[in-house]
Structure 1
Amino acid sequence: MSDQLGLYRFLARFKVFKRSYIAKVMAVAFLGTHVPLLVLLLSFILSPGMALGMTLRVLLITLLATLAGTVATLLALHHLLRPVTLTSKELQNYLRSQQLPDLPTEFADEVGTLMANTSQTLRKLDELIHYIQNYDDLTGLPNRELLRDRVAQACLAETAPPRLVAVLLIGINDFVEVSHAWDPETASLLIRSIAQRLENTVYPNNIVARLEGDEFAIALIDIPSFENVIKLAQLLLSTLAKPFSIHGNGIHVTAGIGITLEHLSDRNGIDLLLQQAHMALHTAKQQGRSRYQFYSPEITAQLQERMLLENELYGALDRQEMRVHYQPLIDLQTGEIRAVEALVRWQHPTFGLVSPGKFIPIAEANGFIIPLGEWILRTACAQNKAWQSAGLPPIRLSVNLSARQFEQADLVDRVRETLQETQLDPVHLELEVTESALMNDMGRSINTLNDLRNLGISLALDDFGTGYSSLNYLKQFPVNMLKIDRSFIHDIISNPDSAAVTNAIIALAQNLNLGITAEGIEDEGQLTYLKTRGCHEGQGFYFSRPVPPEAIAPMLTQALQPSS
């Protein structure tokens, strides 16, 4: 490249031309155009007389000198323009192949500044592009690509044997709901604070990266022991559970961690590790908050089954595979049927009867629970009206509302339309909501409950005792009934803690003049215990499993017959 800048470099030695590229060009142009005239003038000066031959000679010399001067000028200008053409060429090379330019930076005139600035700008641009491609712009942490590169560099040296790598994938529980509760700036600051806390928790040789959204990855190389991974997972969970102070607000979050360990032998193995850790994270979040889960092949099988069920679930209503079964709620003092709870069942043509425990969480996650819940409500209300039209005694119908349904802005209107469509008297409908569904937005929840109560229906607080269970909250909710979760009833005889919680809930309901229903009664001992404590209603396999609607009718008919 230096050889191509010979004339430019030569002229730059003269002080008068050093800082002006225009001066260089003008000097070359001046010399090139005036050399013929100078030669002609010199010829006249040196010639004593001008004969014809001499005149021709002068003209020939002038012509040749002019041609020579023109050629020399063009060549000189061509060389002087080399810095510009080289700069353009280097720009094109960078755009095509991201090859950084090798332009000189020692010249001080305009074109020298152009070359130096071009070289410097492209280098800064290259650094910026490298940063954008390899780092997360919000947290400054490496992204997925840089994580892969760094793990590969650490583990895949040609002479090194395969090294044990652990990948911990951290996901914030319910981050969408948390971010919606705050403005975008606060949500971004929370992500940054989480990233900083993760970096401060791990060792410097561990690799921390942000993959996307609320998911972070930590790669551990050369793990001393399996227990070290467990201790780090526990430390990360406890660290993230501490409140974050953002603009004076204390924000609480919890996380789940998916963990996988493998001897890494090729670059593609990094992607496999991330995939396995993601599956383990999904399982950890299903188990609850602040949980970690190691990957196992069984998790892959479970997720494959889940994906298959999810695909089949979308068309289940159209294929009329869903069924509503009903479980009686019994008056524990008289033994009479007071109500029935509507429970959905999925009768798949290939899989058979699919457990609600498998498909309800899927429906909750993908939003299918909203049309499914509306269908259950409409079907159950129509069935209750049909029983009444058949001359059976009116009973209360209890229907569960999912958290996703409860968040709908037009929930009250949808319930009102369903009652009008099925012509069911609102007094015969009870809607069940869980504590957790109400706690996302207390003010809105109370308004929605009041609007539902104004329709004439009754409300039950489901799974009471497993959530917040605060007396202060409970006094604000306009509910009619508390339902004791089956987890307390299951070992109420053998576990003093379950008995104490159950006794407290019954006493609380009595003091607030609320009805009380116990779920999951399975034997005589549980029934006797609850009766003596004053529990009003109960349901469970001891009385009846959930049954099709045609099996409920005989139970209600028997209730009409006088006892002998």
Structure 2
Amino acid sequence: MLKIPVLQNGINGWENVLISASDVLKIVNTGGPRHEVHTPEAVYGLDLPWDCIEEWLLDEGFVQLDENNIVNINRVISYDDYKGTVFFGPQDDPEAKTAAVAVLHKKRLGRLLGALQQSNETATGAEGGRVNRVSMLRDRFKDIKTQAVYLASFDPVTGLPNRSSFLDRIDRLIEAQHENRMLAILVLTVDRFAEINHALGLKAGDDLLVYLAESLKGCLNGKGEAARLCGGDFAVLLPEVSRMEEATGLGKKLQQLLASSPFVIQQREIPISVSIGISFSPNDGTDAETLLRHAFIALDGAKAKGGGIVNVFHPSLSDRTLEKMHLEIELQKAFKDETLQLQYQPLIRLKDGTVFGMEALLRWNHPTKGAIPPSLFIPAAEASGLIIPIGNWVVKQACRQNRAWQNAGLPPILISVNISVYQLEHPGFVGYIKEVLAETGLAPHYLCLEIRETVASDKISLALDTIERLKGLGVSISIDDFGTGYTSLSWLKRFKVNTLKIDKSFIDDLDKGSGHSAIAAALIRLCRELNIRSLAEGVETEGQLKVLKELGCDDIQGYLFSRPLSIRDAEQLLKENKSFSA
């Protein structure tokens, strides 16, 4: 049996004592190379580095609980998982030795102690029980070591190499690469993977990952290597390509395969698409990290173009990525410094031209670049994770301003605020709206939340639940950009929204002939039949206004009446209680 050289503070000073590993209960690091060796009889000093102790003891039935504690699993009598304590004697014995279980290792240790407990229950006889217990535990340790080696290199869900193993393989190939030889890295992600996980559950998500891994291996047919990086991200290494088209062709082949054979889960066919970014060595990098980073930049470009495409890295993509990152940083600073602003655009009743509401619109006036359009900074907010705090700030500021106008004796109006999909998905969003209304004192029926139709149709079940809860608070709901998504009539009835905002694209050519007015007429008629108000966005000409009157549209908004206004100008408009000529 292994002997551990320790020191005992004896009568004549420090003395060496040799202790069998089987007699050791636990070893505790007390700082630097200094350790305490606990046996049932005494505590000894040990001056050895931690890694040397590990090398000795891990093969002798010990488990490391954390960076300071290592325990002899063979000596554990019982354990209290709830309190996170192991006992080297009966729990009811006040002199029983104990060790605390580190939180991070509690689950793993629990499994080991479960094996120990099982071996105790199945053992027959004291001697037989001891042999059986030690044998079972050593087998278990071998399994754990084997599993640890496996998990260091492979993804447990798909069985593919993991990121670390993949990068190592690329670097080794590059080192051995001959001149004028080219290798390709493809990075691909499952479009809307998070939504599939959310809608169908994590088990379905794992099944999809396995399905994609098998599809990848089938496409490669032994001519390349696949890996799973993280989440819904995969990578492919083509060790030798003569032309770029070989890599792009593989990407398109995979996309066609997935398009022709939908993923089936829970007796439902789920159409799957992937976005793919590609980089090549040596042109785009001569090490694994650089190649993978450039492939991800190309992937971001593919997703920015709508997803479902193959995109090859180009240095200009890197420049755009840096610009995008810089914009995100500047936006974060603008939000922190409270330099973002709201403007307000009037909402007009068509029948009498009165202002019944204002839409709050977020604006960013950069100190050197001037006005940054929302089409640029909203995606930056989404990419940086700022969209929820900024979106919530907009809601609060708009409600606060509306209440301030009412307190000033101005005519009470509806305030309308756009809501992002990220806010809609957040479990605390409805509670936040309730808090804002209570804090600002604004009555719920003076707040309207605008949800884009594409968001509502993509998140049907979630949107329904959230809308019902918001309606329960008393706020109004508007579907924005209506006509650009795929909302079915049955879902539209269940949404119970107050207003449908007809997208500007259907208004632009409204006065250029009967064909252009057909869709707008159908949408307005649909609103009337469903008892939902219709609001036309982007009205800019008298001709458009005339047609909308004839079609029976309820409300309008656009530059023909007013551009977005500052707080002061919006307040002046409300003071005048002006009716627009409609």
What is the TM-score when the length of structure 2 is the normalising length? 0.67
Paired positions, count:
445
Rounded Cα–Cα distance in structure 2 between residues aligned with 1:153 and 1:267: 11
Which of 427, 431, 435 aligns to 1:413? It is 431
Matched, 1:207 2:225: yes
Which of 372, 383, 396 aligns to 2:401? It is 383
Which of 463, 467, 476 aligns to 2:494? It is 476
Matched, 1:260 2:283: no
Gaps of 5+ in 1: 1-90, 96-122
Counterpart amino acid of 2:156? Answer: D
Which of 132, 141, 155 aligns to 1:136? It is 155
Deviation at 1:225?
4.8
Contact 1:156-1:267 within 8 A present in 2 as well: no
Rounded Cα–Cα distance in structure 2 between residues aligned with 1:173 and 1:364: 16
Deviation at 1:431?
1.2
Map of 1:337 onto structure 2: 355
Rounded Cα–Cα distance in structure 2 between residues aligned with 1:495 and 1:154: 64
Contact 2:425-2:462 within 8 A present in 1 as well: no
Higher relative contact order (CA 8 A, sep 6+): 1
Map of 1:423 onto structure 2: 441
Map of 2:126 onto structure 1: none
Rounded Cα–Cα distance in structure 1 between residues aligned with 2:143 and 2:423: 52
**Deviation per residue, 1:442-488 (Å, 9 max, x gap):** 45533432332233322101122222221111011110101122344
Contact 2:454-2:484 within 8 A present in 1 as well: no
Map of 1:324 onto structure 2: 342
Rounded Cα–Cα distance in structure 1 between residues aligned with 2:367 and 2:228: 43
Rounded Cα–Cα distance in structure 1 between residues aligned with 2:469 and 2:461: 13
Contact 1:459-1:481 within 8 A present in 2 as well: yes
Correspondence list, 1:48-127, <5 A? none
Deviation at 1:317?
3.7
Which of 252, 263, 279 aligns to 2:297? It is 279
Counterpart amino acid of 1:361? Answer: P
Counterpart amino acid of 1:354? Answer: I
Counterpart amino acid of 2:468? Answer: N
Note closer, same or farther for the CA distance 1:130–1:443 as it changes in structure 2 (3 Å cut).
closer
- Alignment RMSD (CA, Å): 3.6
Which of 323, 348, 362 aligns to 2:380? It is 362
Deviation at 1:226?
4.8
Map of 1:174 onto structure 2: 192
Matched, 1:310 2:340: no
**Deviation per residue, 1:65-121 (Å, 9 max, x gap):** xxxxxxxxxxxxxxxxxxxxxxxxxx99xx9xxxxxxxxxxxxxxxxxxxxxxxxxx
Rounded Cα–Cα distance in structure 2 between residues aligned with 1:391 and 1:324: 21
Counterpart amino acid of 1:211? Answer: L
Note closer, same or farther for the CA distance 1:412–1:136 as it changes in structure 2 (3 Å cut).
closer
**Deviation per residue, 1:317-348 (Å, 9 max, x gap):** 44221211111223345443332100112234
**Deviation per residue, 1:495-545 (Å, 9 max, x gap):** 998754433322211211211122233444444443333322232334333
Deviation at 1:195?
0.9
Deviation at 1:255?
2.2
Report the more deviating stretch, 173-182 or 228-237: 228-237
**Deviation per residue, 1:334-387 (Å, 9 max, x gap):** 443332100112234454433222222233344422222222122112222222
Deviation at 1:155?
6.0
Gaps of 5+ in 2: 1-54, 60-141
Report the more deviating stretch, 511-520 or 330-339: 330-339
Counterpart amino acid of 2:269? Answer: G
Deviation at 1:315?
4.4
Deviation at 1:265?
9.5
Rounded Cα–Cα distance in structure 2 between residues aligned with 1:528 and 1:476: 32
Map of 1:295 onto structure 2: 313
Correspondence list, 1:522-561, <5 A? 522-560=540-578
SS at match of 2:569: helix
Rounded Cα–Cα distance in structure 2 between residues aligned with 1:325 and 1:463: 19
Contact 2:284-2:291 within 8 A present in 1 as well: no
Counterpart amino acid of 1:296? Answer: H
Correspondence list, 1:126-275, <5 A? 132-148=151-167, 150-151=169-170, 157=176, 160-220=178-238, 223=241, 225-241=243-259, 242-246=261-265, 248-263=267-282, 267-268=286-287, 270-275=288-293
SS at match of 2:471: helix
Deviation at 1:547?
2.2
Matched, 1:374 2:401: no
Rounded Cα–Cα distance in structure 2 between residues aligned with 1:561 and 1:210: 62
Counterpart amino acid of 1:474? Answer: L
What is the TM-score when the length of structure 1 is the normalising length? 0.69
Contact 1:393-1:560 within 8 A present in 2 as well: no
Instruction: Name which one, 1 or 2, has greater alpha-carbon Rg.
Output: 1
Rounded Cα–Cα distance in structure 2 between residues aligned with 1:125 and 1:413: 45
Contact 2:181-2:242 within 8 A present in 1 as well: no
**Deviation per residue, 1:147-167 (Å, 9 max, x gap):** 445556666546x32323333
SS at match of 1:181: helix
Note closer, same or farther for the CA distance 1:263–1:489 as it changes in structure 2 (3 Å cut).
farther
Contact 1:168-1:258 within 8 A present in 2 as well: yes
SS at match of 2:334: coil
Contact 1:172-1:214 within 8 A present in 2 as well: yes
Q: Which has the higher strand share?
A: 2
Map of 2:419 onto structure 1: 401
SS at match of 1:547: coil
Deviation at 1:133?
4.4
Map of 1:489 onto structure 2: 507
